[in-house]
Amino acid sequence: EAGVVQSPRYKIIEKKQPVAFWCNPISGHNTLYWYLQNLGQGPELLIRYENEEAVDDSQLPKDRFSAERLKGVDSTLKIQPAELGDSAVYLCASSFGTSGVSGELFFGEGSRLTVL
Amino acid sequence: ILNVEQSPQSLHVQEGDSTNFTCSFPSSNFYALHWYRWETAKSPEALFVMTLNGDEKKKGRISATLNTKEGYSYLYIKGSQPEDSATYLCACNFGNEKLTFGTGTRLTIIP
């Protein structure tokens, strides 16, 4: 069974440029998460989808970040314009159900962004 | 603010030795605890999900315990091998359908 697929794995851009990350979750997983991991920190939730609905986007900086999950499968996370402080690893994860009790998360390999 | 704290931050262990590290969390509103292993250039992989006080789980040479009353979990690795080198992440759910992650323990096994 294919795992969570993310692309690109690495991206280097100049500040003020746009960037987009793509995630394909495990088939049948209705919940999809985007996490941000800064160097030396633990992953922090940016947005959680249940099917196509964003049920928790309270941590998403909406002035420059946007996300979508059309048809409740693939998801795209966009940053426009990127700032130096956005350099981080962007992790996508999926689960069957929510992580509230026993639903382990299945992660992709992450997209490492460097903003120059 | 619900903080999940892990210690130590990093650890070097001789191959063959056993080791353990800690995840601490506020015991109020605790719902579940997850342990993940994250090897370099790979995706984080779930090791255990634990919910009950006194829970003990084992997978091969790795085991974990959970004390929800005092707010901690231990992860044990017996007879460390080079392939155990990774960052071990602990994450807790406090009933809000969101996982709060610690900063991880980076384990390096010395051959």
DSSP character string of A48-81: EEETTEEEE-TTS-TTTEEEE-GGGS-EEEEESS
Tokens of A88: 């981080």
Query: Are A98 and B97 in contact (CB < 8 Å)?
Result: yes
- State which residue of chain A sits closest to B39, comparing Cα positions: A109
pLDDT bin (cut points 50, 70, 90) of residue A3 is very high
The tens digit of pLDDT for each residue in A55-70 reads: 999 999 999 999 999 8
Q: Which of A69, A32, A30 is nearest to A52 (CA)?
A: A69
Q: What is the mean pLDDT of residues A25-43?
A: 93
Q: Are A46 and A77 in contact (CB under 8 A)?
A: yes
Q: Over the stretch A62-107, which tens digit does the pLDDT of each residue have?
A: 999 999 998 889 999 999 999 999 999 999 999 987 655 567 899 9
How far apart (Å, rounded) are the C-alpha atoms in residues B58 and B65? 9
> Between the CA of residue A35 and those of A57, B5, B16, B21, B26, what are the distances in Å?
11, 18, 34, 24, 22
Asked if B42 reaches chain A (Cβ–Cβ under 8 Å), the answer is: yes
